[in-house]
Copies of this chain bind each other. A is one copy, B any other.
Amino acid sequence: MTTHEERVRKSFGKQAFMSTLGAELTAVGKGLVEIRLPFSPSLTQQDGYLHAGAVTAVMDSACGYAALSVAPADHEVLTVEFKVNLLAPAASKVFVAKGQVKRAGRRLTVCTADAFAVNGEGEKVIATMLATIIALPLSGAR
C-alpha cells in the first residue's frame, strides 16, 4: 500500500459515521477517492430514497480524502465548505461517491465529487459536489 493510501485508510477507519452509514472505502489514488454506500432502509428520507445527508456525507469524505491524498505528510485536512446539487432520486441498491482534486493549492484544495446509483446497467449520476478543503499542520490548533 502506498503511503498516501495508508494514511487515507487509517483516517477513514476512524470516521465512526462512515461505519454507521455502512460506507466502505473502495479506491484510493493520488487525488482520487471512491466510497461505496449500499442502500439501507435506515438511511432514507420520507419517500424511501437515500437521504441527501447520507449522500452528502460520503461525497464529503470522498472529497476530503482526495485532498488528504495529495497533502503534505505533516498536514491534516478539514472541509471548509461544499455545495451539493441533487440530480436524481437516490434510488438504487448501491451507490458510489467519487471524489477528485480539481486544484491543489498550498493551503486550500478544491475538489469535486459525483455520486452515482449503481445497477446492472451501469452508473447514473445522482448528485454532484464542489468543495473547498483546507490543509493544516498536524496537531496545530486553528
Contact = CB atoms under 8 A, between A and B. Distances in A.
Contacts of A88: 103
Report copies per complex: 4
A86 B125 CA distance: 25
Majority DSSP secondary structure for residues of A touching B: mixed
Given A41-B16, A52-B60, A53-B57, A103 B125 contact: yes
Interface of A: 11-12, 14-21, 41-46, 51-54, 56-58, 60-61, 78-88, 102-103, 105-108, 110, 125, 128, 130, 132, 134, 142
Contacts of A14: 45-46
A105 B142 contact: yes
Given A21-B53, A102-B125, 7 more contacts: A14-B46, A15-B45, A20-B20, A20-B43, A56-B56, A56-B57, A80-B85
